[in-house]
Amino acid sequence: MKKVMLFLFIIALLPLGSALAQDMPHAGAEIVATYMQSGTYDVGAENIEAAFEEATGIELELVASPWAVLNQNHITDLTTGTGEFDVMSGEFWIASVYDKMLPLDAFVERDSFGGDYIPTIWQPGPSGYFDGKRIGIPYSADAYGIVYRTDIFEEAGLSADWETWDDYIATLDQLAMHLEGSDIAPSVFSWGASEQTPSIFLGMYDGYLVDADGNYAVDEESAIAALEKMASLLAYNPEGAAGLSIDESNSVFLTGNAATMICWVSFMRASAQDPDSSLVVDNWAVAPFPGPGFPFLSAWNLFISEYSENPEAAWEWVKYYINPEQSTQRFVELGVGSPYLSTYEDPELMAAYSHDFPGMVHNLSRAQSVPWVFEAFEIFFRNTSELVIGSISAEEALANTLAGWSEVTVPPALVQSAAAQGQQQDM
Amino acid sequence: MLRKPATWHRRHDVPWLIAFVLPAFFIVVAVQFYPLAYSAALAVQEWSLTKSQEPEGFVGLENFVEELGDETFRRSVRNSVLITGGAVILEMILGVCLAYLTMGSSWRMRAVRTTLILPMVIAPVAAGTLWRILLNYRAGLVNHLLSLIGIQGPEWLASPDWAIISVILLDTWQWTPFVLLVAGAAIASIPGDLLEVAAIDGASRWKTFLYIELPLLTPLLLLTLVFRMLESLLSLDSIYSLTFGGPGYSTYTMTFYIYTQGLRNFNFGAAAASSWIFMAFASVSIALVFWFQRKDW
Amino acid sequence: MYSVIHGIVLAVACLVVIVPLGYLIINSIKLPREFLTIPPTILPTEVTFEHYQDLIDDKKTVRYFQNSLTVSVWTTGVTILTGTLAAYGLARMRLSAKILALVTFIFLFIRFYPRVTTVIPFFLVMRQLDLLDTVWAIIIGQLGITIPFVTWLMLVVFQDLPSEIEEAAIVDGASVWQRFSRVVLPIVMPSVSAAAILTAFLSWNEFLIASSVARRKASVLSIAVASFVSDKGIQWGPMAAMSVVMIVPMIVFALFAQKYLIRGITFGAVKG
């Protein structure tokens, strides 16, 4: 017993000793890093802040802000050249200031950074790129998925191995018959969170998002078909579903009132396995997201500002925050989806998440980010929302969207992102 | 005691009075002048961050023409008029009535008054979120209470018409207290003897209100009206958290539009131009009040 | 009969206010699983104070609270002082109606210009003054909103004041300051209290200016409340708890200011 204690003691001292032994080249530097205030990414950063400061001697200040404020602060800071933030958290929503971010290729190469990223996530699009140079390092990955009730499917003799949305809808029809007379709806989705509706569209739509000239466009025939199909899903939802927010939709599934749910898996996974908040513990699994489109990907990146006075120290933080160990830990402790394959191949986790991982990895490997700036995104989701509540037809929704898009310019970084992910119309 | 003539006093007073005005004038005009001038300059320039990092030059009134012709902008103006119109009318009527009903300095009236101004204390973003959960179609308290008296509640936030009504209700709930507070203070300042005289003359309560109090209250009520109107038009946090402008564009207001253009899409030129269009409207409203007030004197 | 209806109307009005607020308080002591139940959970099966505990444990909450308090106290104090003085000055200066209208108009224009479009230039001004991320940046920004409001409100009040009230004091040789502080101010105290209440509420809850010039050390409670709304949902419990915490100081202030409001009324009645 004593030996074990001594051994543990030495192990505990090792990192400290090696840190002291190393000269700390950036000791004394001060950096500021931003996160979205969400209780996940930001908490993950706070948890390791002290250890990072001790290991590197760098003074780190973390700034967490609500989503809307975060983007606004970044853009204000970069366009006015203030340089308040060294490391910034963001996604393609801030593509209009990508040119103010420091290229990171040299850092990545020098430290042979990268490792076993899920390949799609390490590519332009999910990873921030400008002018062919890497500027962003992804630290989270979540793909849209469909979760389903394994007990109901078993009882009804159904399987969740659909490949297309038509297969999924056929399954919903069978579920509807099986569930007739019960309170359980075949499907649920957060229709009321209108910014979520494009996720279904993107899964159904098979075509380009940027035309050959680099403007926002879609293949009209395919888009109208996808929009109509999307709206038709509402009929399989519980009454009043058109107003459901993300929380409410999750709660419908967790209280056992839906057989399937189209959702961000990372947002329901922890509560679904918690008996305090869920009636479906161990009775659900992640199914493949149907095609021919792709699952919508959310991948937060860390960027380094070109106005940073301490890019080397900033890079130290990027490396410290983003690596397979940290990502796995954030997944386990905070439910943040990991961009690394190793998380999903960890034998212990694989056993604990056998209902979750196979479907999740499948979806992540197919997932793509979109080339939409917020303006283009908003034009689209508001019009699809009008379609969902029955105010306009699919044709009108598309016509309105295209009219709105004609005023919006695609930032060059996002044209490149679209091209890299096969979302641009062929020349 | 030597008595100086009143006119001497008036001249003598002027430096004092100017000194009274200066601090406020300095703080307001000095600090806000540059931002306003900057915004005026942007309104006549082409600058959208997705296209360029720098303003792309003078375009005259093009931004204004574009905004006025923009379908979303026009729709947002229509929504704003509906929401603000509905909310402000309700607030004025309810606020003045409640101000009369809560007159007096008994502890009970004081408690009622304090209770009634509470909604104003809540951060608008929290109030919006609170009402979102209250108005929830399936799990909301409002529809639950309605069902207890046998009414099937509407889909408050998912139907275009009810969503507008929801926003009006929230605005009314949160800001009727403002009218109550200002009108209450105004009523309290009406000299008591005026009303006594009227009572002795045998005027009914209603007539006293109509012919004595209302004319006295009018300047302050008009001011309150314009303030509530412009404030309501400018409100952003509560709509942001209650409906996020939806469903679709149903509750997309002018301020939401300006916010989206300016701080989400970073179309600085467009946002500045629509702000100035808004200010043209606001100016007309303010000028109208001045004109009404003038007539009274 | 009249008093019965009177009572019923006031009771209903109070209920309309209290029920949503009561629900907010209930939400702050609910377990997460009881937020979206059908029908809604009015009496939680289990009361939890974890949301409050989390707030108290977080050092940042204390700092936000201090910042909010500093901002509100300064904004309200400076606004009431300068706004009331300015209104009195403008009312007694015997300016021609046109000039008076113009000055008021400039104030109001600045008051109602959509802040959204001046956020970035205001940010630049504050950077130039080296005030970024300080409570002073927030206070200065808010003063641009509150002073014009109070000035206009009080201007209307002063103009309505019969001039005879001051005549006696003028004859007695009182200075402008003496006339203002000893004669006029006590009479208009109800309006000043009302203006102070309104200013404090506005300043306490203001979000946009605070979020754009102060995101680190000088962050305030209203930003903290907004941060419970994330891109993937709302943390109802903590948000409700934070809202309740935010309301308490304002209720205390409103009660305090109301006392002055009443005193002003009775004083005015004696004088009148």
Q: Check whether residue C131 and residue C211 sit in a common domain.
A: yes
**In terms of C-beta density within 10 A (0-12 exposed, 13-18 middle, 19 or more buried), how is residue B160 classed?**
middle
Q: Tokens 């101010």 appear where?
A: C185
The conformation of residue C47, written as its DSSP 8-state character, comes to -
> What is the sign, positive or negative, of the torsion defined by CA atoms of A78, A84, A86, A88?
negative
A411 close contact with B: CB closer than 8 A: yes
In chain A, residues 311-370 whose CB comes closer than 8 Å to chain B: none
pLDDT of residue B297: 41
pLDDT confidence bin for B3, thresholds 50/70/90: very low
A75-99 per-position pLDDT tens digit:
888 888 888 899 999 988 888 889 8
pLDDT of residue C269 exceeding 60: no
The better pLDDT of the pair B140, C172 is held by B140
Residue A261 near residue A252 (C-beta atoms within 8 A): yes
Q: Check whether residue C26 and residue C71 sit in a common domain.
A: no
Q: Check whether residue C8 and residue C120 sit in a common domain.
A: no
The amino acid at B180: L
pLDDT of residue C231: 66
**Which of C88, C191, C246 has its CB closest to that of B185?**
C191
The better pLDDT of the pair C2, A311 is held by A311
Q: Check whether residue C167 and residue C232 sit in a common domain.
A: yes
Give the dihedral of Cα atoms A245, A407, A125, A318; nearest 10 deg: -80
Q: Which range marks the domain in which residue C231 is found?
A: 59-271
Overall domain count for chain C: 2
pLDDT of residue A13 exceeding 70: no
Strands A284-287 and A301-304: unpaired
User: What domains sit in chain A, N to C, each tagged with a CATH number?
Assistant: 17-141+299-345 (3.40.190.10), 143-296+372-409 (3.40.190.10)
Residue C54 lies in a domain: no
Q: Which of A41, A199, A247, A266 to mutate to test the interface with C (most CBs of C within 10 A)?
A: A247
A92-151 per-position pLDDT tens digit:
888 888 989 999 999 999 998 987 899 989 999 999 999 999 999 999 999 999 999 999
Q: Check whether residue C144 and residue C20 sit in a common domain.
A: no
Contacts of B85 (CB under 8 A, 6+ apart): none
A267-310 per-position pLDDT tens digit:
888 889 888 888 999 999 999 999 899 999 999 999 999 999 99
Residue A303 near residue A75 (C-beta atoms within 8 A): no
pLDDT of residue C102 exceeding 80: yes
Average pLDDT on C241-269 reads 73
Residue C41 lies in a domain: yes
pLDDT confidence bin for C132, thresholds 50/70/90: confident
Average pLDDT on A38-66 reads 90
**Pairs of CB atoms within 8 A across A/B:** 90
Q: Check whether residue C105 and residue C210 sit in a common domain.
A: yes
Please give the mean pLDDT across all residues of chain C.
84
For chain A, what is the largest distance between any 2 Cα atoms, rounded to a whole number of angstroms? 76
Residue C182 lies in a domain: yes
Closest A-chain CA to B129:
A245
A354-383 per-position pLDDT tens digit:
999 999 999 999 999 999 988 899 999 999
Q: Check whether residue C255 and residue C224 sit in a common domain.
A: yes
Counting as contact any 3 or more CB pairs under 8 A, the partners of A are B, C
Is the Cβ pair B249, A386 closer than 8 Å? yes
C122 close contact with A: CB closer than 8 A: no
Counting as contact any 3 or more CB pairs under 8 A, the partners of B are A, C
Question: What ipTM goes with this model?
Answer: 0.84
Whether the link from the prior residue into A358 is cis, omega within 30° of 0, is no
C152-202 per-position pLDDT tens digit:
889 888 887 777 778 878 877 778 888 888 888 888 888 898 899 889 989
Give the dihedral of Cα atoms C170, C174, C175, C178; nearest 10 deg: -110
Name the E strands within A190-308: 258-264, 284-287, 297-298, 301-304
Average pLDDT on B183-195 reads 76
B136: chain A residues, CB-CB within 8 Å: 243, 248
pLDDT of residue A6: 59
Is the Cβ pair C221, B6 closer than 8 Å? no
Residue A67 near residue A35 (C-beta atoms within 8 A): no
Contacts of A321 (CB under 8 A, 6+ apart): A33, A44, A45, A48, A52, A139, A302
Residue C138 lies in a domain: yes
pLDDT of residue C113: 87
Q: Tell me how close the Cα of B161 comes to any Cα of chain C, in angstroms.
A: 22
B139: chain A residues, CB-CB within 8 Å: 248, 251
Counting as contact any 3 or more CB pairs under 8 A, the partners of C are A, B
B14: chain C residues, CB-CB within 8 Å: 93
> What is the sign, positive or negative, of the torsion defined by CA atoms of A329, A332, A337, A340?
positive
**Which of B137, B159, B252 has its CB closest to that of A389?**
B159
Residue C23 lies in a domain: yes
Q: Tell me how close the Cα of C159 comes to any Cα of chain B, in angstroms.
A: 10
Q: What CA–CA distance (Å, rounded) separates A168 from A145?
A: 12
Strands A136-138 and A301-304: antiparallel
Q: Check whether residue C83 and residue C22 sit in a common domain.
A: no
Closest B-chain CA to A100:
B53
Give the right CATH number for B57-124+165-296 from 3.40.50.9100, 3.80.30.20, 1.10.3720.10, 3.40.570.10. Answer: 1.10.3720.10
**Which of C32, C133, C212 has its CB closest to that of A76?**
C212
Closest B-chain CA to C6:
B101
C11 close contact with A: CB closer than 8 A: no
How many Cα atoms occupy the beta-carbon half-sphere of B52 within 13 Å?
10
What share of chain A has pLDDT > 90, as a percent?
67
pLDDT of residue A22 exceeding 70: no
Q: What CA–CA distance (Å, rounded) separates C141 from C121?
A: 12
Q: Check whether residue C7 and residue C37 sit in a common domain.
A: yes
Average pLDDT on A397-416 reads 92
Strands A258-264 and A185-188: parallel
pLDDT of residue B95 exceeding 90: yes
Q: Which of B11, B34, B129 to mutate to test the interface with C (most CBs of C within 10 A)?
A: B129
Render C86-119 in DSSP notation, one character per residue: HHHHHHHTT--HHHHHHHHHHHHHHHHS-GGGGH
B271-291 per-position pLDDT tens digit:
999 999 998 888 888 888 777
Please give the mean pLDDT across all residues of chain A.
90
pLDDT confidence bin for B1, thresholds 50/70/90: very low
Name the E strands within A135-281: 136-138, 142-149, 185-188, 258-264
Tally DSSP H helices, then E strands, for chain B: 14, 0
Q: What CA–CA distance (Å, rounded) separates C151 from C78?
A: 12
Average pLDDT on C235-260 reads 84
What percent of the residues of chain B are helix, what percent strand, and what percent coil, each to the nearest 5? Answer: 75, 0, 25
pLDDT of residue B4: 46
Residue C53 lies in a domain: no
The amino acid at C208: L
Is the Cβ pair B134, C254 closer than 8 Å? no
C234: chain A residues, CB-CB within 8 Å: 245, 247
Q: What CA–CA distance (Å, rounded) separates B110 from C264?
A: 14
Is the Cβ pair B32, C234 closer than 8 Å? no
pLDDT of residue A7 exceeding 70: no
Residue C4 structure tokens: 């019965």
**Which of C10, C40, C269 has its CB closest to that of B192?**
C269
Highest mean pLDDT among B28-42, C12-26, C149-163: C12-26
Residue C254 lies in a domain: yes
Q: Tell me how close the Cα of A342 comes to any Cα of chain C, in angstroms.
A: 25
Q: Tell me how close the Cα of B240 comes to any Cα of chain A, in angstroms.
A: 11
Average pLDDT on C225-237 reads 77
Q: Check whether residue C90 and residue C40 sit in a common domain.
A: no
Residue B294 structure tokens: 């003038």
The better pLDDT of the pair C129, A187 is held by A187
Q: Check whether residue C122 and residue C43 sit in a common domain.
A: no
Average pLDDT on B84-101 reads 94
B244: chain A residues, CB-CB within 8 Å: 194-195
Report CA-CA distances (Å) from C110 to A221, A267, B21, B85, C85: 50, 43, 16, 23, 19
pLDDT confidence bin for A26, thresholds 50/70/90: confident
Q: Check whether residue C8 and residue C63 sit in a common domain.
A: no
Residue C213 lies in a domain: yes
pLDDT of residue A262 exceeding 90: yes
